[in-house]
């Protein structure tokens, strides 16, 4: 059930993406004109919280699992029992280092943990353990691509200020009827990384593109599932506007955004709201706002001026986190017990932007095709294995993969790894096509048949359903003869010298053969027949 929901969302996101790029482009040009270009600078910065993929929590042994019964994954530490102590999960540290390396951060070889205090019912211990003073990684950057229109991709990048390890809180459920708050501590203590970006962006589309790229990186690395709707990726946006040449304006923070699309909408709405207020002589207040996806507006949540003091303090129960590289690795430690930056760097998978560039260069496909391949989990591998096993050129393969194959996936709400069609099936079909055994029309039929009849090979399907190209000249001549006899009007048109009409006859032969004939061969045969017929008439 879960898998199904997930794939529906992916597909929708995919569809929306192209549409959105187009409309966004149009909209921004319109509004540019409308607001007298250049009168306002917009500044957008993001704080992204990503839940780390790991079997257990950041500081306790309890399991991490989505959708478990409430309060079933709570250790003594998570429930804040006195006397419990945090023990750092090495796997989470590796996840943070991996992510930090992927966005070109400098890893701090020594980082520390702090307590951030606030009272909230889903924070049982009264403080969150985070990295306030000395985070695990600093100063990186994230390269992303802004799609403008259908064929225009602008490379961009945003600086990353820092990445810090911290604990997630539990969840509160407010029962307004009985004025109760129910607490689920399953999420309490799950490892998060907070990625703080510099305010280098200027609109919702940029923020959205950056977050999507980050999402892809996290998934490629396997460090986070990164689903915004499931809260595995949470984005807060800091937004301000100012006149060119003047200092930054007062910023607002927008929270509670649960999809990348809403992020873009929330930011654009907030920019517009601030500009309108300022143009009407008003003032922007430093406040936290929430995005209401139903109305598409941001709404006041709380005042930040009366900001609470988090009373930060070093966490006394955790020694500094020491991370090594090949040079600093002491000889007397077990390499499995420490985190080694160089080792992790060697193990990094190919990152999305590198992979896209490689796909374009190696296979000669279009840039936007590389995006389509990357946006569907597993599609790149599928494409590459098909290319490997077929004589068809990659440029031909890409069309079959991103149009015909993806269409079948979408129709059936499946992911690539759930598809009944394997790369070998696809390459076999393309080989049959390439060798002239089937027509491209038949190839599509074979694909559909294979989707339905798992376990058969393409060749078997061709034989079984008689989809092979008709090569028997006699049979072909017979079919052509029939068509000629059934279409005297067209024949006389042709004989009057209108050769174009022959295409109609070709179509008829194709129809009669259920697409199993080669059009060139049919044309030649028809020509021959018509010519013979003509001569025959003349002889008469």
Query: Where on the chain is the footprint of other proteins (CB under 8 A)?
Result: 76, 79-88, 115, 117, 119, 121, 124-127, 181, 183, 309, 311-313, 316-319
Alpha helix ranges (H) inside 236-351:
260-279, 341-347
Q: Which residues of 14-27 are buried (b: 16+ CB within 10 A; e: fewer)?
A: eeebeebbeebbee
Which CB, 80 or 141, lies closer to other proteins?
Answer: 80
Between CA 269 and CA 154 the distance in angstroms is 23
Min dist. Cβ of residue 190 to other proteins (A): 18
Nearer to other proteins, 27 or 174 (CB): 174
Of 132 and 516, CB closest to other proteins: 132
The DSSP call for residue 324 is B
State which residue, 173 or 499, has the beta carbon closest to other proteins: 173
Where residue 82 falls (left for φ over 0; alpha for ψ -120 to 50; beta otherwise) is beta
Residues 403-413: b if buried by 16+ CB within 10 A, e if exposed: ebbbebbbeee
Contact 44, 211 (CB under 8 A): no
Find residue 362's DSSP bridge partners.
Answer: none
How far is residue 397 from each of residues 150, 379, 409, 426, 436, measured CA to CA in Å? Answer: 21, 12, 16, 9, 16
- Least CB distance to other proteins at residue 119 (A): 6
3-class SS letters over 435-472: CCCCCHHHHHHHHHHHHHCCCCCHHHHHHHCCCCCCCC
User: Judged by CB, which is closer to other proteins: 119, or 247?
Assistant: 119
Closer CB to other proteins, 179 or 520, in the complex: 179
Residues 6+ apart with CB under 8 A from 227: 6, 233
Residue 48 contacts residue 91 (beta carbons within 8 Å): no
Shortest separation between residue 333's beta carbon and other proteins, angstroms: 9
Least distance to other proteins from the beta carbon of 117, Å?
6
76 vs 248 by CB, closer to other proteins: 76
CB of 174 to other proteins, least distance (A): 10
CB of 312 to other proteins, least distance (A): 7
CB-based contact 110:134 (threshold 8 Å): yes
Give me the least distance between CB of 120 and other proteins, in Å please.
8
Distance CA 55, CA 67 (A): 14
Minimum CB separation of residue 87 from other proteins in Å reads 6
Question: CB of residue 185 vs other proteins: minimum separation in angstroms?
Answer: 9
Q: How wide is the angle at C-alpha 335 spanned by C-alphas 333 and 338, nearest 5°?
A: 85
Nearer to other proteins, 317 or 417 (CB): 317
Q: Give every strand in the sheet of 127-130, ordered side by side.
A: 127-130, 114-117, 313-314
CA distance 264 to 336: 42
**Of residues 116 and 289, the one with the C-beta less far from other proteins:** 116
């Amino acid at each position: 059930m879960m898998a199904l929901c997930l794939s529906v969302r992916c597909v929708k996101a995919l569809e929306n993406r192209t549409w959105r790029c187009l409309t966004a482009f149009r909209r921004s040009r319109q509004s540019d004109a409308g607001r007298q270009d250049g009168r306002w600078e917009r500044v957008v910065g993001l704080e992204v919280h990503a839940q780390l993929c790991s079997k257990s929590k950041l500081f306790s042994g309890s399991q991490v699992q989505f959708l478990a019964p409430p309060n079933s994954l709570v250790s003594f530490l998570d429930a804040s029992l006195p006397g419990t102590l945090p023990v750092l999960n090495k796997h989470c540290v590796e996840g943070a280092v991996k992510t930090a390396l992927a966005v070109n951060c400098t890893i701090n070889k020594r980082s520390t943990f702090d307590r951030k205090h606030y009272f909230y019912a889903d924070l049982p211990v009264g403080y969150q353990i985070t990295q306030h003073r000395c985070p695990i990684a600093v100063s990186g950057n994230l390269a992303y691509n802004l799609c403008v229109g259908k064929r225009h991709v602008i490379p961009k990048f945003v600086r990353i200020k820092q990445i810090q390890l911290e604990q997630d809180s539990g969840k509160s459920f407010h029962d307004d009827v009985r004025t109760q708050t129910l607490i689920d501590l399953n999420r309490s203590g799950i490892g998060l990384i907070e990625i703080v970006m510099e305010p280098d962006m200027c609109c919702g589309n940029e923020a959205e593109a950056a977050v999507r790229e980050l999402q892809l990186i996290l998934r490629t690395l396997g460090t986070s599932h990164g689903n915004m709707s499931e809260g595995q990726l949470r984005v807060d946006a800091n937004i301000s506007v100012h006149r060119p040449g003047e200092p930054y304006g007062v910023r607002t923070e927008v929270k509670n955004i649960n999809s990348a699309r809403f992020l873009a909408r929330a930011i654009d709405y907030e920019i517009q709201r601030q500009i309108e207020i300022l143009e009407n002589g008003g003032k922007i207040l430093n406040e936290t706002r929430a995005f209401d996806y139903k109305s598409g507006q941001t709404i006041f949540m709380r005042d930040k001026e009366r900001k609470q003091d988090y009373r930060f303090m070093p966490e006394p129960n955790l020694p500094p986190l020491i991370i090594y590289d090949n040079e600093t690795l002491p000889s007397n430690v077990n390499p499995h017990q420490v985190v080694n930056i160089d080792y992790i760097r060697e193990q990094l998978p190919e990152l999305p932007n590198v992979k896209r560039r490689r796909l374009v260069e190696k296979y000669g496909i279009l840039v936007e095709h590389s995006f389509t391949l990357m946006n569907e989990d597993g599609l790149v591998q599928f494409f590459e294995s098909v290319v490997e096993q077929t004589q068809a050129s990659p440029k031909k393969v890409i069309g079959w993969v991103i149009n015909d194959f993806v269409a079948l996936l979408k129709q059936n709400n499946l992911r690539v790894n759930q598809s009944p069609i394997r790369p070998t099936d696809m390459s076999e079909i393309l080989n049959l096509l390439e060798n002239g055994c089937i027509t491209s029309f038949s190839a599509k039929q074979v694909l559909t048949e294979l989707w339905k009849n798992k376990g058969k090979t393409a060749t078997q399907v061709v034989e079984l359903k008689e989809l092979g190209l008709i090569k028997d000249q006699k049979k072909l001549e017979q079919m052509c003869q029939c068509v000629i006899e059934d279409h005297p009007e067209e024949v006389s048109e042709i004989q009057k010298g209108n050769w174009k009409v022959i295409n109609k006859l070709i179509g008829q032969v194709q129809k009669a053969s259920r697409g199993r004939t080669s059009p060139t061969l049919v044309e030649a045969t028809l020509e021959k027949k018509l010519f013979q017929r003509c001569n025959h008439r003349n002889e008469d």
